[in-house]
Amino acid sequence: MRALVERYLDAYNRKDVDAMLATMDDAVVFENYTAGALSIRTQGIEELRALAEHSRHLFSSRRQTVTAWQESDGSGSASILFEGTFAVDLPNGIRAGQSIVLEGRSEFRVHDGRLVYVADHSD
């Protein structure tokens, strides 16, 4: 599972949507939680593709780095350090060129060698 997650994160860091989705099951569920509240949820690979295509243009560079890993019974949990530089101005006042660093956690579930669930958690 760790190797599959590393392939997914490598593709994410390169902003290679096709390679990222190649690690996923067609029925993949993606969720993003901010401060414990669900902020984004996609169901299925096409919904995730649309989100990934849109969000990859928000950052001129981005990197998720695994700082700790736990795995058991088809599930994995990674402590993640996210670093990014915005490529565009956002309505909330963030300006292009601003950098962000967040610590978070990601959960993964695998079925038949593909990711079927990914959840990102940040504060």
Secondary-structure class of domain 2-122 per CATH: alpha beta
Compute the mean pLDDT over every residue in the chain, rounded to the nearest whole number: 95
Give the helix ranges, DSSP H, for the chain.
2-14, 17-21, 45-55
Summarize pLDDT for 98-119 with one digit per residue, the tens: 999 999 999 999 999 999 999 9
Distant-in-sequence, close-in-space partners of 91: CB < 8 Å, separation ≥ 6: none
Residues 43-98 have pLDDT tens digits of 999 999 999 999 989 999 999 999 999 999 889 999 999 999 999 999 999 999 99
Distance CA 21, CA 93 (A): 31
Tell me the domain boundaries of the chain.
Answer: 2-122
Give the Cβ contact number of residue 39 at 10 Å.
11
Question: Sign of dihedral through CA atoms 118, 25, 76, 3?
Answer: negative
φ/ψ of 97, rounded to 5, equals 95, -20
**Strand, coil or helix: 55:** helix
Q: How high is the pLDDT of residue 6?
A: 96
